[in-house]
Amino acid sequence: MPDTSPPRLVVSGLSRAFGGAPVVDDVSLEVAAGQVTCLLGPSGCGKSTTLRMIAGVDRPDRGSIRIDGRLICDTTTFTPPEARSVGLMFQDFALFPHLTVAQNVAFGLGTDRAARQRRVEELLERVNLSGYGPKHPHQLSGGEQQRVALARALAPRPRVMLMDEPFSGLDNRLRDGIRDTTLEVLKEEGTAVVLVTHEPDEAMRMADEIALMRGGRIVQRGAPYNIYNKPVDKAAAAFFSDIN
């Protein structure tokens, strides 16, 4: 039977201006379960603002957002962030320093103790940190902390995961490994992912689809190698040219 369910996330005609200046201009996206879409573009092009509206921490002037077909935001509807089933991960999204790793991961989970413990163990294993549960964040490296943050964000099984430059604070040498682990875990969980980055090589490595942004608009959308091989214009080609 063909799958007739709606895409996990549908963003349609999203627009936002600050002080009369358009910052996000008619942005539309669909992301399926298990798919990673990268919002890629230079600093200031409106990536974070787009993500913040999907998260529900900012409101669009126009447009709509649906998760699993359910309208969560348009000009008259506004579902608060905690009721959207979105997981968030930002560069500086710190762990709670006074809680253990296990308590951090369990933070957003329900009250069934055995179920919490199972979920925490499952996720720590997925991010290759089995046995780290009793440790405190300060005992972990930056990369390990980032993997705990990923486990914590995924613990409540969000329908959509929103990640804003989550690896940009990390050492270059660590980054590729963490990108791969993150991608593996996201695929196992089957979450729909919107990953914001200004780095073409990160998008090439992680995305199923790239949405290339400039000046608040999506100027090109497609599979990474299609965009890389057939950039829509000279500016897009130049943006990809410093990939290493």
- Which residues form the interface with ligand ADP (CB under 6 A)? 18, 23, 41, 43-49
Report the nearest approach of ligand ADP to the CB of residue 56 (Å).
15
Of the candidates 42, 40, 34, 32, the residue with the CA atom closest to the CA atom of residue 8: 32
Kindly tell me which of 5 and 91 has the beta carbon lying closer to ligand ADP.
91
Q: Under rule CB under 5 A, how many of the chain's residues touch Mg ion?
A: 1
Report the nearest approach of ligand ADP to the CB of residue 220 (Å).
16
Q: Which stretch binds Mg ion (CB under 5 A): 46-54, 78-86, 107-115, 219-227?
A: 46-54
Q: Which does 23 bind (CB under 5 to 8 A by kind): Mg ion, ligand ADP, none?
A: ligand ADP
CA–CA gap between residue 158 and residue 86 (Å, rounded) = 5
182 binds Mg ion (CB under 5 A): no
Report the nearest approach of ligand ADP to the CB of residue 217 (Å).
12
Of the candidates 106, 123, 118, 102, the residue with the CA atom closest to the CA atom of residue 189: 123
Spell out the residues 6+ positions from residue 128 whose beta carbon is closer than 8 angstroms to its own.
147, 181
Residue 11, burial from CB neighbour count under 10 angstroms (0-12, 13-18, 19+): buried
CA–CA gap between residue 224 and residue 209 (Å, rounded) = 6
Residue 109, burial from CB neighbour count under 10 angstroms (0-12, 13-18, 19+): middle
Residue in the structure block whose two tokens are 């500016």:
235
15 binds Mg ion (CB under 5 A): no
- 86 forms beta bridges with 160
Residues making up the chain, counted from first to last: 244
Kindly tell me which of 2 and 20 has the beta carbon lying closer to ligand ADP.
20
Kindly tell me which of 18 and 225 has the beta carbon lying closer to ligand ADP.
18
Tell how far CA 196 is from the center of its chain: 7
Q: For the chain, report the end-to-end CA distance as a whole number of angstroms.
A: 43
Report the nearest approach of ligand ADP to the CB of residue 26 (Å).
15
Kindly tell me which of 9 and 23 has the beta carbon lying closer to Mg ion.
23
DSSP one-letter code for 48: H
Kindly tell me which of 18 and 78 has the beta carbon lying closer to ligand ADP.
18
Give the HSE-up count for residue 90: Cα atoms under 13 Å, Cβ half-sphere. 8
Report the nearest approach of Mg ion to the CB of residue 23 (Å).
11
Kindly tell me which of 90 and 132 has the beta carbon lying closer to ligand ADP.
90
48 binds Mg ion (CB under 5 A): yes
Report the nearest approach of Mg ion to the CB of residue 12 (Å).
22
Q: Which does 44 bind (CB under 5 to 8 A by kind): ligand ADP, Mg ion, none?
A: ligand ADP
Residue nearest to Mg ion (CB): 48
Footprint of Mg ion (CB under 5 A):
48
